[in-house]
Amino acid sequence: MIPTESTNKNRIKNRVKNRIRTAAGFATLLMPTLLSGCGSSTMVQTETEASDGLISVAFSEVGAESDWRVANSESMRTTFTTENGYEFYFEDAKGKQENQITTLRNYILQGVDYIVLDPVIETGWDEVLEEAKDAGIPVIVVDRMVDVEDETLYTAWVGSDFQKEGEMAVEWLETYLEEQGRSEEEIKILHVTGTAGSSAQLGRTAGLENGVEAHENWEIIAQVAGEFTQAKAYEEVSEILQQTSDIDVIYCENDDSAFGAIQALEEAGITYGTDGDVILISFDATEAGLTACMEGKLNLNVECNPMHGPRVEEIIQQIEAGETPEKTQYVEETWFTPEMLTGELIESRGY
C-alpha cells in the first residue's frame, strides 16, 4: 500500500501509542532468544527505550550466506541507528522463507512503523503482505523481488537488475572470446547457480541462458546448485571435475561460489583465470571478489551493490514527508576485469 497523506499522519500520531505496545510485545516474543544469548535475533530496542518518538524499522534479512549479505546487513544496521532517529529490529531468516513469514507476522503484531523485507525467494508472499497491508504497515522490499498478484501489497522495491547483470557477463564473454580468436570454438560452460527461486538466481540464470541460446557454439554442460555459498559450490564443482575437466568457462552466480569453484579447481590441478585454462566469471564485486579479480583469479566480476541501507532510508523519509516513492528503483551497476582494478579502488568501495 502506498500510504496517503492522511494514513501517514495517523501512523505518525499513533507512533508513541504503538511504541509502548510494541516494546512490551517484543520483550515477550523475543525474550527466549535474548536470554539464550545466541541465535540470529537482534533486538536493538528495550522496553525502557520505547517511547522516544523514533521511527521503528523492522528488517527481515535472508541470512548470512555470503560476504555480500554480511555487507548488506551492516549497511542496514549502520543506517537505522538511534542517532539517526530509528529503532531497528533485525531478524536473520537463515535462508528460510518460513522464518521470514513468522518474523513478518511478529513485526505486524507489534505494529512497527515500517517493515523492510529482503525475500529469500520471489513467490509465496501474498498472504503475509496482505496482513501487513491490512495493518497499515508499509513494506519496503529490498535487493530481491517479490512476485505478487497485487503490487499494492508493498510500497516500493530497491535493488539490482539481476538479469542485466547476467547480460553484462554474456556480452563481456562474447567480446573476450572474440579478442582471443575463439569466437567460432565450441565453448563449454559449467553453471553454478545461486539459491533457487531467488531474484539473483533467476535473473543471472536468464542472462546466461539467453546468451547460450544466441550462440550456437556455446553449451551449458551442467548446472549445479552452489546456493551462493563457498562450501556448496566447492562440493558441486568438485563432483563435476571428477567426471570431466573439459570446461572452458565457469559461470558462478556470486563471489562466494566462485571461491568454492577455485578451491575445487586447485585441488584438481586445473588452471583458471587470466593465465589458466578455465575462464572464471563471478558476481557481486565484494572486496574479496575484486581482490581475486585483480590477482587474475577471476576474469570478470560483475557488480551487485549491497549498500541498500541509505536507499531504504530515502524511501522511508519520502513516505514520512508525505511523498510517494518511486515503486521500482534499480541500482546502477558495472563490471570489473583485472586491468581495471587497483588496491585503492577496491578499498574505496567499502565492502
Nearer to ligand AHR, 157 or 228 (CB): 228
Q: Return the C-alpha cell found at 179.
A: 579478442
Shortest Cβ distance from residue 83 to ligand AHR (Å)? 28
What pairs with residue 297 in β-bridges?
none
What is d(CA 331, CA 164) in angstroms, rounded to the nearest whole number? 11
Q: Return the C-alpha cell found at 19.
A: 511504541
Q: Which of 61, 65, 161, 167 binds ligand AHR (CB under 6 A)?
A: 65
What is d(CA 98, CA 238) in angstroms, rounded to the nearest whole number? 31
Residue 144 is a binding residue for ligand AHR (CB under 6 A): yes
Q: Which of 254, 282, 299, 301 binds ligand AHR (CB under 6 A)?
A: 254
Cβ neighbours of residue 59 under 8 Å, at least 6 residues apart?
Answer: 76, 80, 88, 89, 90, 91, 115, 116, 117, 118
What string of DSSP letters covers 51-120? Answer: TS-PEEEEEEE--S-SHHHHHHHHHHHHHS-TTTTEEEEEEE-TT-HHHHHHHHHHHHHHT-SEEEE--S
Please work out, in degrees rounded to the nearest 5, the angle formed at the alpha carbon of residue 190 by the alpha carbons of 188 and 193: 150
Nearer to ligand AHR, 139 or 304 (CB): 304
At which residue does the C-alpha cell 583469479 appear? 297
Terminal C-alpha separation, the chain: 33
Shortest Cβ distance from residue 159 to ligand AHR (Å)? 8
Nearer to ligand AHR, 86 or 283 (CB): 283
Residue 228 is a binding residue for ligand AHR (CB under 6 A): yes
Shortest Cβ distance from residue 173 to ligand AHR (Å)? 18
Residue 227 is a binding residue for ligand AHR (CB under 6 A): no
Interacting residues with ligand AHR between 66 and 105 (CB under 6 A): 66, 68-69
Nearer to ligand AHR, 113 or 256 (CB): 256
Which residue in 64, 66, 59, 63 sits closest to 45, CA to CA? Answer: 59
Shortest Cβ distance from residue 254 to ligand AHR (Å)? 4
Span near ligand AHR by CB under 6 A; candidates 64-72, 132-140, 167-175, 271-279: 64-72
Question: Does residue 195 sit in helix, strand or coil?
Answer: coil
Q: Which of 132, 304, 315, 346 binds ligand AHR (CB under 6 A)?
A: 304
Shortest Cβ distance from residue 143 to ligand AHR (Å)? 5
Q: Return the C-alpha cell found at 252.
A: 558462478
Shortest Cβ distance from residue 26 to ligand AHR (Å)? 27
- The pattern of x and - marking residues 276 through 295 that bind ligand AHR according to CB under 6 A reads -------xx-----------
Q: What is the dihedral of CA 320, 326, 327, 333, to 10 degrees?
A: -120
Cβ neighbours of residue 343 under 8 Å, at least 6 residues apart?
Answer: 294
Shortest Cβ distance from residue 118 to ligand AHR (Å)? 7
Shortest Cβ distance from residue 165 to ligand AHR (Å)? 9
Span near ligand AHR by CB under 6 A; candidates 38-46, 50-58, 62-70, 211-219: 62-70
Please give the residue ranges that form the binding site for ligand AHR (CB under 6 A).
65-66, 68-69, 143-144, 200, 228, 254, 283-284, 304
